[in-house]
Amino acid sequence: MVAEKIDQCMKPHGEEGKQTIENMNENHKEISKFAFECININDNAKIIDIGCGGGVNIEKFLKLTSGNVDGLDYSEVSVSESIKRNSEAVENGRCNVIQADVSDMPIKNESYDLVSAFETIYFWPNITETFKEVFRIIKPHGQFLIAQGTDGNHPDDEKWLATVEGMSVYTAPELEKYLLNAGFESVESHVKENDYILVVIAQKH
């Protein structure tokens, strides 16, 4: 039963996947709130949310920029739910949600001012190479925002790592090393006071 739930978190599917997405939208509220407090967004920034889940962060970004806000997820159900949630922006041509793998994105070089990843990098393969793929689609002087519910020191981390095959948890210094190796110029980290929520913002030259 636990394995099934974890599988749904990694890649929501079927009717149960829709409920999983709804739960994630609710459970990730504090992480999302803190991340939005940490990032400055230009009025006309073009943004993509990778691992967009149910599209709740796409919806938030659309209110903060007049530019396009796109989404990417490798779950068909997540793509469908994100489109449904942001249907008006999709119809107006301000939002495009695609089904694809972050390690090989069908996106042109230097397409976005900001790339975000909320509660998703735990499952990304070969992290430095995947970060290089993210770096590729970011415009010069653009940013990469990572938000996660643990800074690598959460008491439950070991339990999750023991339960979930292929899951990785990263500390801020580890992420900084991987991001710099991927080509980013600078990295800043924010940990929520009296909590484990970690937000990392990497800058492209």
For 146-204, what is each residue's pLDDT tens digit? 999 999 999 999 988 888 888 999 999 999 999 999 999 999 999 999 999 999 999 99
Q: Which residues contact 178 (CB under 8 A, 6 or more apart)?
A: 127, 128, 131, 170
Residue 10 is predicted with a pLDDT of 57
Q: Which residues contact 2 (CB under 8 A, 6 or more apart)?
A: 163
Q: Torsion angle of alpha carbons 163, 22, 125, 166, nearest 10°?
A: 10
CATH no. of 2-203 = 3.40.50.150
Residue 160 is predicted with a pLDDT of 84
Q: Where are the domains of the chain?
A: 2-203
Please check the confidence at residue 3 and state whether its pLDDT lies above 50: no
Taking alpha carbons only, the member of 76, 127, 68 closest to residue 103 is: 127
Q: Is the Cβ–Cβ distance between 101 and 81 less than 8 Å? A: no
- Tell me the angle at which helices 76-85 and 56-64 cross, rounded to the nearest 10 degrees: 40
